[in-house]
Amino acid sequence: MERNKREIRQAEMVTKTPIAFWNYGNLPEAYMPASEAGVVGQQCSNCMYHDASYCTKWEEMIHLKFWCKAWMSIDIFENNDELTESDKSFLTELKKYEDINFRPPQSVADAARRGLELRAEYNRGGTAVGVARARTLSNRTKVSPSTINRMVSYFARHEVDLDAPAAKRGNDGFPSAGYIAWQLWGGFPGRSWANKIRRQMVREDERD
């Protein structure tokens, strides 16, 4: 059953409407509700590949109560004999950065929470991905190295959105959709923090 990707994401992340089928993009054909898979205690929400409703293995938005055969315990060193080469590469990356604190600071959490409040109030700004990111940041949940890279990329691409008159406090139309989206990703504190963590990651990379 084909579904529009944007509709799927909006339904799950924004309106929370239950979805019976969720097979699109890179997700495997056997991707299904955990309740139908016959597994106990395994679903996307507690898989090590889960990152703010995004799967870092399949690189797609996911349903938190679904499951696939690639599920892996959050205990990254459990079932180590069953890891694929891709899995081992992923774990090596995590190990390499183990001395880096990937937990968002309070200032970033506050900015993301404010973004969620503005989006709810004005009904504009940000995508489903941005909303999911804001939820993770506002809860001060540790993020992955790939998320840091996405944050750095986001801020670099979208800083221009803040040049719009409506993005400036006191002007008509404030807050603009771009301003709200910027806050969802942690605002200026988020940009500073992501860039700082990215620099730390680069230093670790250079040691190899």
Radius of gyration of the chain measured on its C-alpha atoms: 18
Indicate whether 12 and 73 sit together in one domain: yes
Indicate whether 203 and 145 sit together in one domain: yes
Does residue 60 lie in a domain region? yes
Q: How far apart are CA 35 and CA 138, in angstroms?
A: 29
Q: Give the model's confidence band at 98: pLDDT under 50 very low, under 70 low, under 90 confident, else very high.
A: confident
Predicted confidence (pLDDT) at residue 139 exceeds the cutoff of 70: yes
Q: Which residue has 């349903």 as its token pair?
A: 63
Q: How far apart are CA 69 and CA 146, in angstroms?
A: 22
Q: Give the model's confidence band at 91: pLDDT under 50 very low, under 70 low, under 90 confident, else very high.
A: low
Residue type for position 160: V
Average pLDDT over residues 37-54: 82
Domain count, the chain: 2
Looking at every residue in the chain, the average pLDDT score rounds to 82
Structural domain harbouring 126: 106-207
**Which of 94 and 79 is assigned the larger pLDDT?**
94
Indicate whether 160 and 123 sit together in one domain: yes
Indicate whether 161 and 70 sit together in one domain: no
Indicate whether 73 and 110 sit together in one domain: no
